[in-house]
Amino acid sequence: MVYKQSVQSLFQPFSLKTLSLSNRIVMAPMTRSFSPEGVPGADVAAYYRRRAENGVSLIVTEGTVIDHPAATGDPNIPNFHGDAALDGWARVVKDVHAAGGKIMPQLWHVGITRRIRSEPNLEAPSISPSGIDLMGEKAGEPMTEEEIAKVVRAFADATAHAKKLGFDGVELHGAHGYLIDQFFWDKTNRRTDRYGGDLVRRTRFAVEIIEACRQSVGPDFPLVLRISQWKTGSYEAKLAKTPEELGQFLAPLVEAGVDMFDCSTRRFWEPEFPGSDLNLAGWTKKLTGKPTMTVGSVGLETEPYGQHEEHGLIDKLLERMDRGEFDLAAIGRAILADPEWAVKIREGRDNEIIPYTSDRLTELF
């Protein structure tokens, strides 16, 4: 297709502390389960290197799990702890850097979304703020403060590993109804201690994680936090119902040490609040002054959640980038389908782009 807007806004440099990017295109994190026993192999390194070789400036890896027995219910999700897994990630970093790209791990604990008695640790109970699942049903016991402290330490240790391995920053997964987000959301956090209460008080768990991570790596290592309003299976959920509430929610996270927010939406072009066409990334940047990354169906020419209208999504993205609504664009399915997506966009070879289709999913890794 021919874009109405110049694509040059996607190919401007960007800097954040020690991170220097040649363009604004980010590979969004996408879970793959291709790391047997939690260890990323040479195929994982090749997968990421191929995207870096073809114009992706920053890669945020698939979710990688911290050192906690209930962090995942899938033995093929890559670990971010243990000598074998960390050696695997060292190879990934080396290959991506050799191809001219930058890379951050996404650090993850799935919390109560993990099925009870699932591998790799069958006997470990799943954990959550209040022992309540995303449907609001009783599913265990609330985390103790001792357990909270252990998880905070595990995130900090993983962040320290990332810096030691040569990663270019870290993204903490605080979205989509996983553990950090379970503390944010009033449906899953009904605690009455210092980790519960109103929206600001519910940020305390995340604040302690961010502060511990910052302490583990110093002031110059970039820390990114992924946030979302929606939750898995609860797409209409809202942490903040107004810009004022969003600002109150974000303030303690910024103060704790977040350098950039990865703002996950299902459709990046949709306004977050009535009365303004700013999306979640736009509002977050406006309220905090921090750089933001937008994500949500970028690069797809048909909207993938049950509707099939043509949207001219790249034009919509370029319009918003040109006016500075957000700083980076994270692209998932389009780059999954076509590792050369970025370079084809840059060179005007749009007619050569391989489109994403769900029936090709098993072929795309």
Beta-strand pair 260-264/292-295? parallel
Residue 111 domain-assigned?
Answer: yes
In angstroms, the CA 280 to CA 268 distance is 8
pLDDT at position 363 over 70: no
Q: Which of 178, 195, 305, 356 is catalytic?
A: 178
Residue 2 domain-assigned?
Answer: no
Model pLDDT, residue 310: 37
- Residue 199's domain comprises 7-363
Please enumerate in sequence order all residues whose Cβ is within 8 A of that of 249, keeping only pairs 6 or more positions apart, or say none. 184, 199, 200, 203, 239, 240
The total number of structural domains in the chain stands at 1
pLDDT at position 300 over 80: no
DSSP notation for 12-42: S-EEETTEEESSSEEEPP-----SGGG---H
Record the pTM.
Answer: 0.94
Q: Please, what is the average pLDDT of the chain? A: 92
178: annotated active-site residue: yes
> What CATH code is carried by the domain that includes residue 315?
3.20.20.70
Q: Is the dihedral of CA 149, 151, 155, 158 positive or negative?
A: positive
Which residue in 14, 33, 170, 17 sits closest to 107, CA to CA?
170
Question: 74-125 pLDDT, tens per residue?
Answer: 999 999 999 999 999 999 999 999 999 999 999 999 999 998 888 899 999 9
